[in-house]
Homo-oligomer: A and B are copies of this chain.
Amino acid sequence: MSAPFDRLAIIGLGLIGSSLARGVRAALPGVTLVGYDADPAVRATARRIGLADTIADLPGEAVRGCDGVILCVPVGAMGSVAAEIAADLDPAAIVSDVGSCKASVVDALQAALPGAVIVPAHPVAGTERSGPEAGFATLFRQRWCILTPPEGTDPAAVDRVAALWRALGSDVEIMAPDHHDRVLAVTSHLPHLIAYTIVGTASDLEEITQSEVIKFSAGGFRDFTRIAASDPVMWRDVFLANREAVLEMLQRFSEDLSALQRAIRWGEGDALFDRFTATRAIRRSIVEQGQDDAREDFGRSHD
Q: CB < 8 Å: which of B186, B261, B296 contacts A205?
A: B186
Question: Which of A26-34, A79-87, A156-164, A220-228 makes up part of the contact surface?
Answer: A220-228
Please judge, given known A-B contacts A227-B223, A247-B264, A264-B246, whether A216 and B187 are in contact too, CB under 8 Å.
yes
B273 touches A200 (CB 8 A): no
- A48 at interface, CB cutoff 8 A: no
Q: A299 at the A/B interface (Cβ < 8 Å)?
A: yes
CB-based nearest B residue for A268: B240
Q: Is the CB of A138 within 8 A of B272?
A: no
Interface contact A138-B267, CB-CB below 8 Å: no
Report the Cα distance A263→B218, complex, angstroms: 30
In angstroms, Cα B273 to Cα A183, docked, is: 23
Contact of A215 among B144, B203, B218, B226 (CB under 8 A): B144
Contact with B along A270-303 (1 / 0, CB 8 A): 0011011111101111100101110111111111
Verify if A210 is at the interface (C-beta below 8 Å from B).
yes
Closest to A125 in B: B218
Task: Tell me which of B127, B201, B277 contacts A186 (CB under 8 A).
Answer: B201
Check A222–B129 contact: CB distance below 8 A.
Answer: no
Nearest Cβ on chain B to A190's Cβ, whole angstroms: 7
A115 within 8 A of B: no
Q: How far apart are the CA atoms of A189 and B198 in the complex, in Å? A: 12
Rounded to whole Å, the gap between the CB of A186 and the closest CB of chain B is: 5
* Given known contacts A207-B182, A210-B282, A219 and B124 CB-to-CB distance under 8 angstroms: yes
Copy number in this complex?
2
Count chain B CB atoms within 10 A of each CB in A207, A210, A215, A256 and give the residue with the most.
Answer: A215
Least CB separation from A212: chain B residue: B183
B contact residues around A201 at 8 Å (CB) = 186, 190, 249, 252-253, 256
Determine whether the beta carbon of B217 is less than 8 Å from that of A286: yes
Q: Say whether A225 contacts B127, CB under 8 Å.
A: no
Q: Provide the residues of chain B in CB contact with A284, threshold 8 Å.
A: 229
Across-interface contacts of A124 in B (CB, < 8 A): 216, 218-219
Beta-carbon contact of B280 and A229 below 8 Å: yes
Q: How far is the CA of A100 from the CA of B239 in the complex (A)?
A: 35
- Judge whether B221 and A188 touch: CB under 8 Å: yes
Chain B residue, CB-CB nearest to A213: B187
Say yes or no for A106: interface residue by CB 8 A criterion: no
* Interface presence of A202 (CB below 8 A): yes
Bound-state Cα–Cα, A109 to B254, Å? 36
B203 A129 Cβ-Cβ under 8 A: no
Residue A41 is within 8 A (CB to CB) of chain B in the complex: no
Cβ-defined partner of A226 (8 Å) among B193, B250, B298: B298
Q: Please, how many angstroms separate the alpha-carbon atoms of A136 and B296 in the complex?
A: 11
The listed residue (B190, B200, B214, B260) touching A286 by CB distance below 8 A is: B214
A43 to chain B, nearest CB (A): 23
The proximity string for A residues 6-23 relative to B, scoring 1 for CB distances below 8 Å and 0 otherwise, is 000000000000000000
Binary CB contact string for chain A from 152 to 194 against chain B (1 if under 8 A, 0 otherwise): 0000000000000000000001000000001110111111111
